[in-house]
Amino acid sequence: MASRRITRMTRFNITALVLGLAFLYLPIVILVIYSFNASRLVTVWGGWSLRWYYEFFNDRAMLDAAWMSLRVGAVSATIATLLGTLAAVALTRGERFKGRMLFSGMLYAPLVMPEVISGLSLLLLFVGLDAGRGFWTVTIAHTTLTMCFVTVVVQSRLGAIDRSLEEAAMDLGCNPLRAFLSVTLPLIIPSIAAGWMLAFTLSLDDVVIASFTTGPGSATLPIRIYSEVRLGVKPEINAICTMVIALIAVVITVASFASKLSSTQGENAVPL
């Protein structure tokens, strides 16, 4: 990552670094600090306190929303990982089937599709099908959003694995499925794990698609926060956001370790 040419920490470099990091992270730092604020007013410092964390754990509606988000994230990430891995296998291992280009294009479309359009079209679909909106509609919507990310992560790893490994396994008595399970899968499992975690965090912080596809009584945490904020920012929101940030930081760290593990076993790293 680090460019070779920057060998010295000149004053200019340090200033640029500090300003850049401040631009990116100062708002978050302020949010985290204010989550420990004892004062009821968001902008006035009233001393350190865990009051708002306590408040959150007694706020039934917020807890429900958080639980909803975690469930949606886990279920949609699991389905997305399953489907995304299969798609990656089809793209890298399958014969040159007809419409392969079209398939991969359609697979990657959600990556660049504006979320509003995805959300709206899913809403229209669910209304058209007369599906009751709630946990499953959000989960399905998030699966469609996150599947392509899993595919990208897994596909890059699969592409780096020598095809002849599977052939060797078949030569030594494995049928094709067995060869995949006993040789290829152990080699790509860190990438699959990284893909799952990526999908989980994407689902956790999505507002747009969730707001289109969720129903009454099944708001996810980001939607709940958004609706609360419209009435005025309570310090409790800061506490929730701090915890979400902590959770995502942990997940992303684990994911990048997983992909690093994957790359030390093979040649190429997974771009995360």
Partner 1 sequence: MTEEQPNSETEPGKPEAPAVEPAKDAELAKDTPVQEAPAKVEPVAIAPVPRPEAERDMPLLRIEGVAKKFGNFRAVDHVTLDIRAGEFFALLGPSGCGKTTLLRMLAGFETPDEGRILLNGKDIAPVMPHERPVNMMFQNYALFPHLSVRDNIAFGLKRAGMARTDIKTRVAEMVALVKLEGMEKRKPDQLSGGQRQRVALARSLARRPQVLLLDEPLAALDKKLRESTQAELMELQRRLGMTFIVVTHDQEEAMTMADRIGVMDAGRLEQMASPRDLYETPASRWIAEFVGDINLFEGQVGTSEGGRLAIETRDGGTIYVAEPRNPLTKSVVSVAVRPEKVKLSRRVLAADGTSAKAFNWLEGVITDVSYLGGITTYKVKLDSGAVVRSSMANTTRLLDTYAASQRVVAWFTPDDCLVLEQ
Interface with partner 1 by CB under 8 A: which residues?
Answer: 162, 164-165, 167-175, 178-179, 183, 186-187, 265-266
Least distance between partner 1 and beta carbon 168 (Å):
4
Name the nearest CA neighbour of 73 among 149, 135, 152: 135
Q: One-letter amino acid identity for 111?
A: L
Closest distance of CB 105 from partner 1, Å: 24
Task: State the residue for tokens 């940030």.
Answer: 245
- In the complex with partner 1, the residue whose CB is nearer, 26 or 162, is 162
Inter-residue contact 208 to 116 (CB < 8 Å) = yes
C-beta of residue 195 within 8 angstroms of C-beta of residue 147: no
**Nearer CB in complex with partner 1: 83/161:** 161
CB closer to partner 1, 78 vs 265:
265
| Closer CB to partner 1, 92 or 265, in the complex | 265
What is residue 114's DSSP assignment?
-
How many Å apart are CA 237 and CA 229, to the nearest integer? 8
Six token digits for residue 186: 């152990």
* Alpha-carbon span 70 to 63, nearest angstrom: 11
We find the least distance from the C-beta atom of residue 270 to partner 1, in angstroms, to be 16
Closer to partner 1 by CB, 80 or 183: give it. 183
CB nearer to partner 1: give 27 or 159.
159
The CB-of-147 to partner 1 minimum distance in angstroms stands at 26
Token representation of residue 2? 């680090």
Q: To the nearest whole angstrom, how small is the minimum distance from the Cβ of residue 163 to partner 1? A: 9
Supply the minimum distance, in Å, between the C-beta of residue 176 and partner 1.
8
Alpha carbon distance 221, 84 (integer Å): 25
Residue 195 C-beta: closest distance to partner 1, Å: 19
Residue with Cβ nearer partner 1 (107 or 179): 179
Helix intervals (H) in the chain: 11-35, 51-57, 60-93, 100-112, 115-129, 135-160, 163-171, 176-179, 185-204, 208-213, 221-230, 235-265
Rounded to the nearest 5°, which phi and psi values hold at 37? -75, 135
The H or E element that residue 172 is part of is none
